Amino acid sequence: MQKDFRYQALGALCFLLLALTLSGQGLAQQAASRSLSQVNISPFRIVAEDALAIVNSGNLKRAKARIKDLETDWDRAEAKLRPRSPEQWRAIDKAIDAALLQLRADSPRAPAAKEALQNLLVELGRPDQSAAAAPGKTEASDLAKLPITDIIAVVEKLQAGTRVLDVSFEPKDGQPAYLVRTYANGKIWDGLLDGVTGAAIGGGTVIDELALDDEDKAEVAASKHAKITLRQAIETAEKAGEGRALNAGLEQVRGRVVWEILIQNTKVSRQVHIDPITGEIL
């Protein structure tokens, strides 16, 4: 009887080890499925490379038409790609928006459009960032003296009556900086602010509200009715996420416009969604 018991115990242990091994493999496969592979990204990269080549040839009007193809295809693929890696998707989406903004500006400039497309290609070639901040961002964020809420205060002081739609931590040349999008009087402004001093880096880019794509128009419309400001949403998200906000702005999530805040702490990054009307965490 004792010998049989030992065999049963050994068998149970082997079964447990096998189960743990299979579970670990399943988790690894599940994590891999949440990233966007280069197979997913390749079609969009091809279009971005085409647009960059056209900009380099000096034909900004044709480049504007080509980048429209990228916007259309990316929006169609959102339902499939975004759930796999929300943070990676958002980083690429913001880079696409930046390229669109430059090519659709009232007076587009080739150098700015070229830089935006090059940045887009970097994001399209970057590995998944859902489990951690992008390479260099964590280190650069440690150097930033101004949190996102202070950057918003700086922008609101510089541009009286403006509405801040989006702020994201975007290091420039290894130095801390924030990319900011604002809205006022039918105009969208995208600019870069120093993460240490809050000073504007360059003049930024202005685009007419009518030139925005449908998603951005919906976000602007939602901002006009929002009762919770971006600063208030960030404060709520930072308290809930027990970390520091790196990115924050209006995003369409499952057909609904919400404040989406990326919180980074010492262990992991996570996204927090805030209802712009009620201020509730979704």
Beta bridge partners of 264: 244, 269
pTM above 0.85, yes or no: no
Neighbours of 271 (CB within 10 A): 17
Q: Note the pLDDT of residue 135.
A: 45
pLDDT tens string 9-50:
444 444 444 443 444 444 334 433 445 666 678 888 888 988
Beta bridge partners of 281: 274
Is 194:260 a contact under the CB 8 Å cutoff? no
Neighbours of 120 (CB within 10 A): 27
Is 121:49 a contact under the CB 8 Å cutoff? yes
Structural domain boundaries of the chain?
A: 1-27, 38-125, 137-274
* Residue (of 177, 188, 187) closest to 145 by Cα position: 177
- Sequence-ordered list of residues with C-beta below 8 angstroms from that of 146, at least 6 positions apart, any chain: 154, 178, 195, 196, 197, 198
For domain 137-274, is the CATH number 3.10.450.40? yes
Please provide the average confidence, as pLDDT, over all residues in the chain: 78
Answer whether residue 128 shows pLDDT above 80: no
Give 209-214 contacts, CB < 8 A, sequence gap 24+.
209/183, 210/186, 211/104, 212/188, 213/71, 213/75, 213/100, 214/75
Is 172:201 a contact under the CB 8 Å cutoff? yes
Mean pLDDT of 223-235: 92
pLDDT tens string 69-78:
888 888 888 7
SS3 for 254? coil
pLDDT tens string 176-210:
888 899 999 999 898 889 888 888 888 888 888 88
Chain length of the chain: 282
Q: Note the pLDDT of residue 267.
A: 67
For domain 38-125, is the CATH number 1.20.120? yes
